[in-house]
Structure 1
Amino acid sequence: FNMAYSSTLVTYGSGTGVVVEVGDHTEIGRINSLLSSTIELETPLTVKIAQFSKLLLWVILGLAAVTFLIGVWRGQSLLDMFMASVALAVGAIPEGLPAALTITLAIGVSRMAKRNAIIRKLPAVETLGSTTVICSDKTGTLTQNQMTVQVLYAGGEFFDITGSGYTPDGDIGLNGKTIVHQNFPALMECLKAGLLCNDARLIAEPESWRIEGDPTEAALLVAAHKAGLHQVSVCTAHPRLDAIPFESQHQFMATLHHNLAIDSRHVYLKGSLESILERCDKAFDPQMQLTALDKALMHQQVERLAAQGLRVLAFARGDHDYDDVKHDQVKGGFIFLGLQAMIDPPRPEAITSIAACYRAGIQVKMITGDHPVTALAIAKQLGMRHVERVVTGAELQATHETQYPQLVEKCAVYARIAPEQKLQLVQALQANGHIVAMTGDGVNDAPALRQANIGVAMGLGGTEVAKEAAAMVLTDDLFSTIAAAVEEGRGVFDNLIKFIVWTLPTNGGEGLVISAAIFANVALPITPVQILWINMSTAVLLGLMLAFEPKEPRLMSRKPRDPQQPILDGVLIFRICLVSTLMLMGAFGLFEWELARGESLASARTVAANVFVFCEMFYLFNCRSLEYSMFHVGVFSNLWVILGALTMTLLQLLFTYWPPMQKLFGTAAIASGEWLLILGVATSVYLIVGLEKLMRRRLFKK
């Protein structure tokens, strides 16, 4: 019986059927079960931010509690100590971090969209920067998906076919000489099989030819056209009665036709050599006379063609007595017609992108339904590594799951892989600690796309189910777009780290100033409302400008980040502590200096607040690169930073001198001498951090 699957669309006609499965037992139900059983993993960023937030929470609560207890122990009132602890907590909490995180990721989304990568889930932007393995489909992503039949084997002879693309201009030759096709019946029958067992269309337009349907099938139409077999006339003479569509688990397609000229029914098969050979017991010689089928020889011929990077399809024909065709009727008794081998050349940009991925420490794995030898030849043309062995779907199925993790580390090329096996590959790679990007376009690819850290769906040829399951959709279906998205992801993560490294010293410095004032039993150098002003204004006008920072040179020459590595390493923690201490010394020192000179408490607090703002501003220029000075990345390469600094300076002048803001924030006007001291402290922060980075670079070189 023919089987209609749940969610199948009926385009016309009517019929009666028996329901044999429902719910999770249908094909769509099985895929849905796989989808629901896959765990949508948290991104490295969300995991690290959650861990970082918990740590920061306990540190701030602990510091506030210690400050409160020490103040009460020294005789301060409970209310004053409560307010001081609140001020400390307000100062230490990086309020701008959630907004900066979201905006930086959103800017990354915009940049990726310009490079043909549509991000469906915001945290996926950063996950791309953490990717350690990219598993890519071959056809159309790594190759051009513009098939051209170049070699045909029929009747024991090899024929060469000239021409390229989908324009049906070219000749068919034998031993280097152009032939008259009609003199080779076996050749014509093999070409006819490719034309009839086909769902594509070749359409002539005023200036070119275009195709509708699968490019592989379109290449078969073009090859037949070059021999004078036109689709409309041949299909009219051989109307289709029934068909068995191609399915990955069966590896073949079958169509039933009525040959009107001789009033007979023939079933034509098209598929992989393995699936076609097991159904054949005879072959045709050049003049269409039955002869013995040498299956070993056929395998040799296919390997010879596949070694040239050609994609090979096998064809067969069988007589039929019914008006429909079923799977149990195509198990054997067919006559082998021949082979058609087509080239699908690698994309030049894919070769460049794969090399870039290797330089960036990212493994690339190719997954295809093609013959293993073809897959290996294309992998070598692409410059892929670890191509000593090709793993087939049958080998994968015969391998125990406990051995998958070892297998996937050693092999980069997978052939004759069913969509369901992609899920197993993803899980094995993740078991080894990898951050995996997986491409897919079909409904059956959805579980693997959902399981992958980054599911990448094809925008041009992908199904809606695949797009819904994926975190990213490629509008051009190119591998180079994935590599470009990884580069953008690394840039986004860099900018996030720059913001965190920039904002934490401010929060740390403010917390330390409050604690120091309590320990020294003096007035608070900055009030809670001034802390809020500093944190919110600088986060928006200074910190967020780092989100627009362009990618640093040699970004794709670095190894991927270790997924287990904390969000801040020892070097950055040291720098945060260093700058926090410098801000503490500058703000608290000048605050006490102003009071010692007889200035009012409001003036001293105004100086302290401005020390924090301008130290942040000068330190912002340090944070434009975590390793180099701003002169290395270009002073004017991010004009947003300069605009933010100028705007912040103007607001601080209003904060200091405008009466309404003086009344709101408790500030007072200060003299030019105080500004020189403030700028001196800020400049010293910039110089000390720059010196620290220089010393680390020289030490690293040694």
Structure 2
Amino acid sequence: MASTKEINQPNFYSQSIEESLSQLEVDPKNGLTTSESEKRLNEYGKNKLEEKKRKSIFMMFLEQLNDYLIYVLFAAVAITFFMGEYTDGIIILIVIFINAFLGLFQEIRANNAIDALKNLSHPKALVRRDGKTMEIDSELLVPGDIVLLEAGRIIPADLRLVESASLQIDESALTGESVAAEKDAEVQLEEDYIPLGDRINLAYMSTLVTYGRGSGIVIGTANNTEVGKIAGYLDTDDNEKTPLEIRLDHLGKTLGKIAIGVCILIFIISYFQGRDLTEMFLTSVSLAVASIPEGLAAIVAIVLSIGVTKMAKQNAIIKKLPAVETLGSVTIVCSDKTGTLTQNKMTVQEAFTFSDGLISVDDEAENTFEENLLAEAMVLASDATLENDKQTGDPTEVALLSLADQWEMDRKELGNKQPRVDELAFDSDRKMMSTLHSVDEEYILYTKGAVDNLIEQCNYVLQDEKEIEITEDHKKEVSKAVEEMSNKALRTLAVAYKKTSSKIEKEKFEEDLVFIGVVGMIDPPRDEVKDSIQKAKDAGVTTIMITGDHANTAFAIAKELGIADNQNQVTTGKEINNASYEELESHISEYRVFARVSPEHKVNIVKAFKAKGNIVSMTGDGVNDAPSLNAADIGVAMGITGTDVAKNASDMILADDNFSTIIGAIEQGRNIFNNIKKSVIFLLASNLGEVVAMLVSIVAGLPVPLLATQLLWINLITDTLPAVALGMDPGDPAVMKEKPRTINENFFSHGGTRKILIGGILIGLLTVVAFLIGYFEHGYNPMNDDIPDDIHAYARTMAFLTIIASQLFYSLSFRSEYKSIFQVGIFSNKYLVGAIILGFGLQLMVLFIPLMRNAFKLQLIGLNDWLMVLGLGLVPLIVNEIIKLFLKRSKNK
């Protein structure tokens, strides 16, 4: 049960601690009683975001049938049943329901994948109840609960802080501010409205404690939290159709009209020819069915399902099947820096001491006394933890612990030998923190912080294991080292120490210090990202970095990754604020890096790129990213660090939060669309061949070359096998050497129409030729009326086998637009080879099993006729291969 009742109250940030405690009727020392918490749980509901009610499986199944093409097929079923051709009608119904069940299966599986991601873990909450401290599931929190906070804890509900000790909270998921917010419980804000990021006496659900400790009283749970309110804004039923859905819908309507036109045309011709109208009505219905690729919707669903399953294995979870097609048209990928382009793991790269100068920490030379003391100070003056890749605390401090491990220092032994006895926490004014440790009845103090602030508190420097009085030259040397590190986008941190014979007061901690050195650290790029960005560039896809970092840091990473070449390609949130939207839109193509931007800026950036005709992908993980994910053509949420709201607003989820997965998904999306196109074009060419064969024969006054049951067998069974196999074609490596497909490109571009017309006309005419041969070799004129039934059956057998052979062989030419079947490899698509073999096997089964041969009104044929069938069947393939040769030469010229 989700939250059902709101707390009727003024803004808690404008209340004192006492007023908040009084309103929610709780004693901060004891917390709520068990009975009171259970009462409030029934009153307010569980602390879980309320989700939009899922459609029932039956409704999802009905939606699979809500398609114009399906309506036409249902009409064909009704007509065939009316005519007494129950077998034909049942076959069509089977195809319709197979298609619907495939779509239903994939939708259920996609929903289950999302649910699994959302339910990976329920954060626990440390609360005070009945005067005891206990850990409970965060879903059981109620307004009035006293929640205890410490570094590494996720805030489980909206809180009015009651206590705070150097408390810092990462609110980037909600406010977009990358720097942790400092909190103060004692502050009482008196203005009527304060922005979320400035409410320093409140803590919000889904944010993270990075430093210090505190406690707070729950003032909002579930959908009554700030996160819940944003989730509510996004809970809409807006299901805009993708280009693929629109094209398939349009194709279905067009083919439906063609089918009606074919029926009318045959009736008119048959009427004037004096044919049996009842017989021709059934023939016209069969031909109408032949003009519609019944398997199209099912095949598209199968191809998408196979592709999406493959993408899921590659860590890209697609929420809607047709969204795959949009990936192939993406021209702009807007990516967050931290964790997506980078490892989201601060790493120390360089260190500076006066004895060694500026060094790489990867240098395998033995560490000097100064370097060891530098690492020792950073380990001891730290509140972070790092054990077996499990970490808590500030990422910067975790990086310093990693450096100690890299230098093979025993951190545990270090802590035992120098236990901490006092500390002075970090604050934003001093920009330093200090810890005092006891060592053999003496004391040593370690201080770390911003270089400029720390060096001013130092009277000495450590050089060659000696404490030397600091000079201006020393300061210049430090400044030079810091500048070199900054130019490499390294974040710098300085360390100092001093020894004392007795314990000292905190006021004197940071006086008369000895400067040890500086470390430079960075969140390094992922190893595979640079190659992925180049691959995207070759494919005509531009990568855009969007980050909350400073411009210099962002540019350094962007330059290393090949995203930006010069500083002019960088702009900042401040510059965006100072410009109008029209100016942003006019200059948007000039930028590759957007630094220090807010979530509000992201929406305008997406809109500006889209206004220039781009198809935009946008990554995001926070609640505040949801609007930009919605605005993008493909919204990509982070599966590991992403919030539920971001995942709900997205089209795709990255299970590994990796940029390279996006580029892999684009490549897969392109190949999937190409495979769908191959299947569609093949089906249309095959169906056109059937229509041409029937129309030519009827217009020429010949008997019909194919009976209704034969047409349906060809159309529903034989055509489908190669079409599915083409949909499973291996990805073409060259697909990422091509420019993105335009969003309005249809199935008939790039030679699609040519393949349909040439293939369809050739298949149809060759079928008529085979049909005539069946008469002439027995000495009969097909225009005569006194032809035995077995001769009609023989001629139709020739036509039946020839049209099947033509279609099966012709499917081989669809593997590539320019490469011959030998360059692609005849056996490189084992599914297609298998489909062709199975297709011929099915025809042999129909021909040689007497029961089926009689049902389909066929005759056994001789060896010479088999050679004739195979020879005619190869013609469309050979003609298309010759055309490819000329097209390739023309392209090369």
- Please report how far the alpha carbon of residue 136 of structure 1 lies from its aligned counterpart in structure 2 after TM superposition: 1.7
Amino acid at match of 1:61: I
CA distance in 2, matches of 1:465, 1:237: 44
Task: Look up the match of 2:815.
Answer: 624
Task: Look up the match of 1:323.
Answer: none
Residue by residue over 1:390-425, the C-alpha shift from the partner in whole angstroms, topping out at 9 and shown as x without a partner, is 122222333323334333322111112234433332
- Please report how far the alpha carbon of residue 500 of structure 1 lies from its aligned counterpart in structure 2 after TM superposition: 1.5
Amino acid at match of 1:393: G
Task: Look up the match of 1:248.
Answer: none
Structural mapping, 1:337-486, within 5 Å = 341-385=520-564, 387=566, 388-486=568-666
Residue by residue over 1:312-360, the C-alpha shift from the partner in whole angstroms, topping out at 9 and shown as x without a partner, is 6899xxxxxxxxxxxxxxxxxxxxx999641233233211111111111
Once the two structures are overlaid, the 10-residue window that deviates more, 11-20 or 49-58, is 11-20
| 1:148 equivalenced with 2:328 (yes/no) | no
**Which secondary structure state, in structure 1, belongs to the residue aligned with residue 751 of structure 2?**
helix
Once the two structures are overlaid, the 10-residue window that deviates more, 436-445 or 571-580, is 436-445
Question: Structure 1 481/12 Cα, relative in aligned 2: closer, same or farther at 3 Å?
Answer: same
Contact 1:306/1:371, CA 8 A, preserved across alignment? no
**Higher RCO (Cα < 8 Å, 6 or more apart):** 1
**Which secondary structure state, in structure 2, belongs to the residue aligned with residue 342 of structure 1?**
strand
Amino acid at match of 1:568: F
Question: Structure 1 131/269 Cα, relative in aligned 2: closer, same or farther at 3 Å?
Answer: farther
| 1:657 equivalenced with 2:848 (yes/no) | yes
- Please report how far the alpha carbon of residue 384 of structure 1 lies from its aligned counterpart in structure 2 after TM superposition: 1.9
Question: Structure 1 115/286 Cα, relative in aligned 2: closer, same or farther at 3 Å?
Answer: farther
| 1:521 equivalenced with 2:686 (yes/no) | no
- Please report how far the alpha carbon of residue 53 of structure 1 lies from its aligned counterpart in structure 2 after TM superposition: 2.5
**Which secondary structure state, in structure 1, belongs to the residue aligned with residue 126 of structure 2?**
coil
Contact 2:358/2:481, CA 8 A, preserved across alignment? no
Structural mapping, 1:104-503, within 5 Å = 104-150=303-349, 163=361, 178=370, 200-203=384-387, 211-212=391-392, 215-222=395-402, 237=421, 284=457, 305-311=485-491, 341-385=520-564, 387=566, 388-503=568-683
From the CA coordinates, give the structure whose radius of gyration is larger: 2
- Please report how far the alpha carbon of residue 526 of structure 1 lies from its aligned counterpart in structure 2 after TM superposition: 0.9
Question: Structure 1 122/570 Cα, relative in aligned 2: closer, same or farther at 3 Å?
Answer: closer
Residue by residue over 1:613-636, the C-alpha shift from the partner in whole angstroms, topping out at 9 and shown as x without a partner, is 100111011112222211011122
Task: Look up the match of 2:278.
Answer: 79
Contact 2:529/2:561, CA 8 A, preserved across alignment? yes
CA distance in 2, matches of 1:36, 1:311: 40
CA distance in 1, matches of 2:842, 2:479: 78
Q: Which runs of 5 or more residues in structure 2 are unaligned?
A: 1-12, 22-46, 50-122, 129-144, 148-159, 161-216, 439-446, 462-468, 470-477, 496-514, 781-789
Contact 1:163/1:171, CA 8 A, preserved across alignment? no
Residue by residue over 1:257-293, the C-alpha shift from the partner in whole angstroms, topping out at 9 and shown as x without a partner, is 99999xxxxxx999xx9xx99xx9996455799xxxx
Q: 1:95 aligns with which of 294, 297, 301?
A: 294
**Which secondary structure state, in structure 2, belongs to the residue aligned with residue 462 of structure 1?**
coil
**Which secondary structure state, in structure 1, belongs to the residue aligned with residue 773 of structure 2?**
helix
Task: Look up the match of 2:73.
Answer: none
**Which secondary structure state, in structure 1, belongs to the residue aligned with residue 795 of structure 2?**
helix
**Which secondary structure state, in structure 2, belongs to the residue aligned with residue 554 of structure 1?**
helix
**Which secondary structure state, in structure 2, belongs to the residue aligned with residue 668 of structure 1?**
coil
CA distance in 2, matches of 1:302, 1:391: 24
Superposed CA RMSD: 4.6
Task: Look up the match of 1:571.
Answer: 751
Task: Look up the match of 2:263.
Answer: 64
| 1:15 equivalenced with 2:146 (yes/no) | yes
**TM-score, length basis structure 1:** 0.78
Structural mapping, 1:648-687, within 5 Å = 648-687=839-878
CA distance in 2, matches of 1:103, 1:253: 62
- Please report how far the alpha carbon of residue 573 of structure 1 lies from its aligned counterpart in structure 2 after TM superposition: 0.2
CA distance in 2, matches of 1:172, 1:421: 48
Contact 2:258/2:291, CA 8 A, preserved across alignment? no
Contact 1:657/1:668, CA 8 A, preserved across alignment? no
Contact 1:624/1:630, CA 8 A, preserved across alignment? yes
Residue by residue over 1:85-136, the C-alpha shift from the partner in whole angstroms, topping out at 9 and shown as x without a partner, is 2122111111111121111112212332343333333223333222211122
| 1:639 equivalenced with 2:838 (yes/no) | no
- Please report how far the alpha carbon of residue 302 of structure 1 lies from its aligned counterpart in structure 2 after TM superposition: 7.7
CA distance in 2, matches of 1:224, 1:425: 42
CA distance in 2, matches of 1:357, 1:253: 45
- Please report how far the alpha carbon of residue 378 of structure 1 lies from its aligned counterpart in structure 2 after TM superposition: 1.0
Question: Structure 1 138/61 Cα, relative in aligned 2: closer, same or farther at 3 Å?
Answer: same
- Please report how far the alpha carbon of residue 253 of structure 1 lies from its aligned counterpart in structure 2 after TM superposition: 13
- Please report how far the alpha carbon of residue 557 of structure 1 lies from its aligned counterpart in structure 2 after TM superposition: 0.9
Amino acid at match of 2:361: G
Residue by residue over 1:122-164, the C-alpha shift from the partner in whole angstroms, topping out at 9 and shown as x without a partner, is 223333222211122222322233322346899x999858636
Question: Structure 1 574/666 Cα, relative in aligned 2: closer, same or farther at 3 Å?
Answer: same
Question: Structure 1 269/432 Cα, relative in aligned 2: closer, same or farther at 3 Å?
Answer: farther
Question: Structure 1 404/664 Cα, relative in aligned 2: closer, same or farther at 3 Å?
Answer: farther
CA distance in 2, matches of 1:676, 1:690: 21
Contact 1:306/1:377, CA 8 A, preserved across alignment? no
Residue by residue over 1:443-479, the C-alpha shift from the partner in whole angstroms, topping out at 9 and shown as x without a partner, is 3323333433333333333334433433333333322
CA distance in 1, matches of 2:355, 2:588: 39
Structural mapping, 1:604-623, within 5 Å = 604-623=795-814
Task: Look up the match of 2:882.
Answer: 691
**Which secondary structure state, in structure 1, belongs to the residue aligned with residue 317 of structure 2?**
strand
Q: Which runs of 5 or more residues in structure 1 are unaligned?
A: 245-250, 262-267, 290-297, 316-336
- Please report how far the alpha carbon of residue 308 of structure 1 lies from its aligned counterpart in structure 2 after TM superposition: 0.7
Contact 2:317/2:652, CA 8 A, preserved across alignment? yes
**Which secondary structure state, in structure 1, belongs to the residue aligned with residue 543 of structure 2?**
strand
CA distance in 2, matches of 1:35, 1:282: 50
**TM-score, length basis structure 2:** 0.63
Contact 1:369/1:417, CA 8 A, preserved across alignment? yes
- Please report how far the alpha carbon of residue 252 of structure 1 lies from its aligned counterpart in structure 2 after TM superposition: 12
**Which secondary structure state, in structure 1, belongs to the residue aligned with residue 283 of structure 2?**
helix
**Which secondary structure state, in structure 1, belongs to the residue aligned with residue 146 of structure 2?**
coil
| 1:594 equivalenced with 2:774 (yes/no) | yes
Amino acid at match of 1:448: S
- Please report how far the alpha carbon of residue 60 of structure 1 lies from its aligned counterpart in structure 2 after TM superposition: 2.9
The alignment covers a number of residue pairs equal to 642
Question: Structure 1 505/286 Cα, relative in aligned 2: closer, same or farther at 3 Å?
Answer: farther
